[in-house]
Amino acid sequence: MASLTIRLDERLENDLNSLAARKHHSKSELVRAILYQQLTIEKFH
């Protein structure tokens, strides 16, 4: 699996941390799922 480094502003980081805590998933898992969803949507538009 490849790795990717991104920079997040404070608000986005806080939102991601909150979501990860609520869902009991790592931030990496969430970002991977969100990116997959968005790329799937873009393929069909």
Write down the pTM of the prediction.
Answer: 0.84
- pLDDT 10s digits, 1-45: 999 999 999 999 999 999 999 999 999 999 999 999 999 999 998
Phi, psi of 18 (to 5 degrees): -65, -45
**What would the two tokens of residue 15 be?**
């939102």
- CA angle at 7 for the pair 30 and 32, rounded to the nearest 5°: 20
Where along the chain do its domains lie?
10-43
4-38 b/e with 16+ CB inside 10 Å = b?
Answer: eeeeeeeeeeeeeeeebeeeeeeeeeebeeeeeee
Residue 45: predicted pLDDT: 87
3-state secondary structure of 20: helix
